[in-house]
Amino acid sequence: VQLQASGGGLVQPGGSLRLSCEASGLTLGVYAIAWFRQAPGKEREGVSAISDVDGSTYYADSVKGRFTISRDNAKNSAYLQMNSLKPEDTAVYYCAAEAGYMWNRNIWYEKTEYDYWGQGTLVTVSS
């Protein structure tokens, strides 16, 4: 099982990036998917999640209105569209997955809810 995150890079404040998470070895369509991030010296935090059952989405307050999570089950992939980026969004971003029947959407932001993790992609927001 592998989750491959990509799409990170250097962007100016106010810019946009689209992260991708491609899965292999599992059928992503029956998994809840989340994005986490970890800034230097900080704990890994939940950014967003999307349900496998009904497509419900969840966001951290800090990214609401700026980030959009989506999935394409046919491509076994998920995405995080990030707009209006701020320097405080700088972090390594990880995608994570958990079998839908085991996922508790009420604590989507907890690292312990996810069994599968990608390797991370670095997003740097700086002028």
Write down the pLDDT at residue 1: 82
Convert the pLDDT of each residue in 48-63 to its tens digit: 999 999 999 999 999 9
* pLDDT the model gives residue 31: 96
For residue 52, the model assigns a pLDDT of 96
Q: How far from 108 is each of 11, 57, 84, 102, CA to CA, in Å?
A: 28, 10, 24, 11
3-state secondary structure 20-65: EEEEECCCHHHEEEEEEEECCCCCCEEEEEECCCCCCEEECCCCCC
Residue ranges for the chain with pLDDT beneath 70: none
Dist CA 44 CA 59 (whole Å): 15
Tokens 């994570």 sit on residue: 96
